[in-house]
Structure 1
């Protein structure tokens, strides 16, 4: 600790205690208590983000806060869960400043309020290396109603929310040799990379209609393979994969970026499988919830990776199907 920085207890009291929710005891205890609503199960997920791996060290601190909470709430949304609270581990590098921390906490406060997910506790330490942030998020579903990753069956229809590929293209735009987009399109793609949009409003419809669901974090092609689990396969119509206007502009400039859009990750959209008899009701409930959704293909019997089909009927090859952490 340096003379111009608060110690751990003062830091918690000044910055994080105002974010604490019920059961957190104002962050004055070593643990929080959390009781699920009657007739509900708890759903728990954890994700970490590391400077230089999952975000740029120079990204706005409020954006980093929104990202670390948003990626976890995206997992809860895909499970059909409603948020209840979160724990935060914050490992600060040696050169952290109070100005950075104040902006980070403001972003966290805004995201926590927007998503209805209060802080329950956590830990603040020095990293000895790059900054690392980890969130453990808690949600709840009616008992036995969590939507699992691997439950799809042949004949199910595949859907994705929002648009695919924006975040991966937003990452590309911040590197050397990036395509030259108009400023508005560039801003849209970078914003999608920095600010995941967890589809929490879709949770009730997923619980009622989806046989399988997961969030697209490591790339559509790779995450679909995880959902199929090697026991079944699928056909995906690339022309039906929803793309934003900004992404389409990037692909017109550099068509080779299609593979990046389909495999690059950081979409944090929901991928799900719905039986045909439930598809109309599912789409109607998604529209009512204000969540854009698109049908992209069909689950099929058989083995092997899902086939991503171009408009000419040929299969789109991928050098790699998804982002890998290792």
Structure 2
């Protein structure tokens, strides 16, 4: 009897590894994939940041325009008594009456001019643009300055021994806090100016004049031209333009850009995003105002 030789079955095939070329190819493809994902992520993040900053800038611009509109439109309010007011704007050469009381001695400083600024043009090189200051008389219906500080009843036109002490002044200008530009309000009833809108980097104003008293604005001039022509009494509207900056840098690298506020150009070369916003403010009190030059 012949015995068959024992045969062993191969349960598994011999495993074969990747070649060096295949490993290098796979690694390269992985790097390309990771780089693509990273690029998409960074792009999406930058887009999100830009949109977030843009939304914030638009909100800050609305706050600035609303604050300017709310308080500048009070210019020239002379109460139902129509008290005389030479100008509805505080400009260079004007005197601000200062009194610690309205006669009774119990009121705090009635008009505090320490933080007030005059209505003036500033060259774009200054970086912050124009300043503006308006004047009106305080009574029971309107006696609060832009910092929300009220005029005491004894200092309002119905009670004050001198109507000059019933005047309220509101000034607006641009300044920085911790490197962040802000629109500031300085009220004559307040000892400290307060920021009212963040990110406002510069502003410009033009004044609409009704030169023939037909109820229509004929031309827009800057403060220097209005003052030179002694035509503050013809001002009926204010065109306000603000340059608003993002809180954080948005662009990957500095970009040179030019921004035009009315007729003034501002050049910037950095990574911040900016927008320009313009509005016309109608001075309803001056539409029927008959003052002096």
TM-score interval, smaller chain: under 0.3
What is the TM-score when the length of structure 2 is the normalising length?
0.22
What is the TM-score when the length of structure 1 is the normalising length?
0.20
- Which structure carries more helix by proportion? 1
